[in-house]
Amino acid sequence: LALLSLPFLSLPQPPWPLTESRASSHSLKYFCTAISDPSHGLPHFVALGYVDGQIFSYYDNVGQRMKPLVPWIEKAGQEDPQYWERNTRSFRARQELFRGHLENLKTLYNQSEGLHIWQLIYGCELQADGSKRGFYQFGYEGRTLITFNMETLTWVAPDPLAQFTQKKWDAIPELNQRTKAYLGEVISLLQRKPQK
């Protein structure tokens, strides 16, 4: 699996099950999806941000801009004038990476035509007891491909074809440290979220 890089940038609920508990006081989740065949009237790439189940931001390859969808997140742009531009650049970069990853996966699974889906969910949950949980999980065709374990700072690949990527990513300790640090930043973001 030739997923050579894992940059930290940002769809509806993914079809694969999450390993994290859904019983949380607050959650911040980003869903990114790339599809191989846009002929169904769908964009090639979409990214959505959710807080406590409410969508707050949207990006797709057609509009090429991250957009606020609720009033409280619009304040982020007022407080930090570069907020939306910075996040738009991140999603544009992720869009290009996802396109390449999707092509690599189609080759790996010996698929040439048809509709294929590559997804990522990442974010955090703050539990009622004060505990925090971060997650970073990739899926392909509705199956979990590879996930990050914050406790062990390693990747877990339930799909045998993803084990090459797992070994490659685990061989880069700074990548796993960055992943943990990034998820810590996401947790911090959620802790600062204004009440709706």
Per-residue confidence (pLDDT) for residue 45, from 0 to 100? 94
Look at 7 and 186; give whichever has higher pLDDT: 186
> pLDDT by residue (tens digit) across 36-50?
887 767 789 999 999
pLDDT of residue 72: 81
Residue 10 confidence (pLDDT) above 70: no
- The pLDDT, as a whole number, for residue 185 is 81
Residue with tokens 């869009």: 95
Query: Contact at 8 Å (CB) between 146 and 166?
Result: yes
The pLDDT tens digits of the residues spanning 26-85 come to 888 999 999 988 776 778 999 999 988 899 999 999 999 999 998 888 877 788 888 888
| Position 193 confidence tier, pLDDT thresholds 50, 70, 90 | low
- Is the confidence at residue 16, as pLDDT, over 60? no
Q: Tokens representing 88?
A: 């738009």
What is the DSSP track for the chain?
------------S-SSPPSS-S--SEEEEEEEEEES-GGGS--SEEEEEEETTEEEEEEETTT-S-EE-SHHHHHHHHHSTTHHHHHHHHHHHHHHHHHHHHHHHHHHTT--SS--EEEEEEEEEE-TTS-EEEEEEEEETTEEEEEEETTTTEEE-SSGGGHHHHHHHHT-HHHHHHHHHHHHHHHHHHHHPPP-
